[in-house]
Amino acid sequence: GYLTLTAHPSYDLLKNGCASSHTIKGTESITSIKARKYRMRWQKAGSVEIEPVLTDGTQLFEEQDDGKDSLTTHNPWIVRCHNLQIQRFLSSSGSPREFLLLENLTAHYTFPCILDLKMGTRQYADDASEEKRRSLDAKTAATTSSPLGLRICGMQVYQQNLGYYKCHNKYFGRSLNVEGFRETLYHFLHDGVRFRLDILLPLIERLQTLTQVIEKLESFRFYTSSLLILYEGKGPDGNSNDCSSEAPLPPNDRVFAKRPQAPVVEVRMIDFAHSVYSPKDKGPDEGYLFGLRNLMVQLQILKQNNLSSATEALQSKNDNVAAATAKKKEAASRTTNN
């Protein structure tokens, strides 16, 4: 059988005139969007399928990994996670289970751009077997975790010029060298139209603040933890290319509750399953700090490159204006002499 779920577009999305950047097309009304039923199929084998609901052939996510590109209506990682959880439930004995209630950090965003970074130079817990330690050490040595103390585990960034997200998974992150890491970091901060300097500067400030905090945490070790970076994919003017600001507001405030204002950029430490406080380990977590400092170095390089490009473009523009002015003066002088 299947589960039928009815999903209503959020207040902010309807306010901007789109349900997910691609659903309101032509003469389609807000009412028809709200009446749609989005169907997820739970198969007897214990897997989840999401049935396409779009009628115009457009998609929202593009996964660029494993040497091939694919477009889907959903984040490519979502179904994999749900399938894994369902398999665990099916294999359980039916006894009560405990769950963690997690905050949805993306709830405040219309087009959330997300970067998941595995932090530090040690990727195993204190209780890991010798075999697992060797395996994880080899993985660290073969990826950017060794030279940078950083490795990309997942990424999605909204492209304003295309109207959908580009996604990368952990296998893509493992394939990168230092140059590739920096290039991917650049793409994370580029919306397809412009480089988001308005995101880069506050991001560096937050990382500096976090570094100061970690430096004071004596004997804490954040093994295998990650750093999550989020920002709003809409442009600095608050509009995305495919949304109109003239759409009517929804009448039902009980269904469409307005979301609180999101911060410009969020930096969150996550995944503390193997974090420990160990008095025998003196000083702060230098492996984690190594990753934080290298992340700031890479961002500073992007900042300088972007400012240099902007300066060169401005200088070129000024030179062109000066040349045009000189030609006009020369032409005017010839006319006067004649």
Chain segment 184-220, per-residue pLDDT in tens:
999 999 999 999 999 999 999 999 999 999 999 999 9
Which comes out higher in pLDDT, residue 175 or 51?
175
Q: Determine the structural domain holding residue 140 and report its residue range.
A: 105-312
Residues 248-261 as b or e (16 or more Cβ within 10 Å = b):
eebeeeeebeeeee
Q: Determine if the pTM surpasses 0.75.
A: no
Q: CA 47 to CA 62: how far, in whole Å?
A: 22
pLDDT at 188: 97
pLDDT band per the 50, 70, 90 thresholds, residue 63: low
Q: Is residue 93 part of a domain?
A: no
CB atoms within 10 A of CB 277: 10
Average pLDDT, the chain: 77
**pLDDT class for 75, splitting at 50, 70, 90?**
low
The CATH number that applies at residue 252 is: 3.30.470.160
Q: Which two tokens stand for residue 70?
A: 């694919």
Report pLDDT digits (tens) over 292-324: 999 999 999 999 999 877 666 656 666 676 677
Domain-embedded: residue 68: no
- 134 located within any domain: yes
For the chain, the domain total comes to 1
